[in-house]
Chains A and B, each alone.
Chain A
Amino acid sequence: DSGVTQTPKHLITATGQRVTLRCSPRSGDLSVYWYQQSLDQGLQFLIHYYNGEERAKGNILERFSAQQFPDLHSELNLSSLELGDSALYFCASSGSSGRQTGELFFGEGSRLTVL
């Protein structure tokens, strides 16, 4: 158990809908990363938050947004869903601050299926 909790574990929805994925980092970790793993793709970096502030964006679509709350949990919002958004979405947390990053601790992922 990494200490990172993601909900829901599985989600099936229809095209055009909106979903919210939730992540609770390890106790004390200030950094949260979101990654997307689509079929036959590696882990694609989406976004990184540190202590409530956005630190970096990757190839995140404009239909996607995220935030980190004062209690450090994070949510990834996916809207106007398309079939291609079906993927496994991972959240990971890290205890490092500044420009270095320590090892990431991954949640179990949220598997999104868009029909």
Chain B
Amino acid sequence: ILNVEQSPQSLHVQEGDSTNFTCSFPSSNFYALHWYRWETAKSPEALFVMTLNGDEKKKGRISATLNTKEGYSYLYIKGSQPEDSATYLCAFFRGDYKLSFGAGTTVTVRA
């Protein structure tokens, strides 16, 4: 059974504060790690696809790092804004054509 775990399940952040959360995945047979943002009443949208150990990706105030040897990825939000409120999903691909999602971290940014 492939377990992709995300922690914490939810968090509340004050506007302007920075935050980060974790995605853990099996370290064997790694091909790719995806991050998606899922806003209420919308569909998930891709943030990053990461394939190499040590990868760092950045999009605006959001960035992610990847450690494939120990099986984790961090997503960082710098200077959180209300529009960052969403559920952030990570997904693990191990080359068997299945992309397995974690349960997500729900971020609520308080003004």
**A interface residue numbers (CB < 8 A to B):** 2, 33, 35, 41-43, 45, 48, 50, 55-56, 58, 90, 92, 99-109
Contacts and interface: CB of A to CB of B under 8 A. Distances in A.
Contacts of A99: 31, 95, 97
Interface stretch (B17-25, B42-50, B61-69, B70-78): B42-50
Given A100-B31, A101-B93, A102-B49, A45 B43 contact: no
A64 B102 CA distance: 23
Given A42-B101, A45-B101, A2 B89 contact: no
A5 to B, nearest CB: 12
A42 B99 contact: no
Interface residues of B, number: 24
Interface in B74-99: 89, 91, 93, 95-99
A63 B34 CA distance: 30
A41 B98 CA distance: 18
B46 A58 contact: no
Contact of B32 (A55, A58, A101, A108): A101
Contacts of A42: 89, 101-104
Interface of B: 31-32, 34, 36, 42-46, 49, 51, 89, 91, 93, 95-104
Nearest to A107: B43
Contacts of B34: 103-104
Contacts of B97: 48, 50, 55-56, 99, 101
Contacts of B46: 103-105
A50 B49 CA distance: 19
A2 B37 CA distance: 13
Given A103-B34, A106-B44, A43 B89 contact: yes
B8 to A, nearest CB: 15
A108 B104 contact: no
8 contacts: A2-B43, A35-B101, A42-B102, A45-B101, A56-B96, A58-B100, A101-B99, A109-B43
A108 B43 CA distance: 5
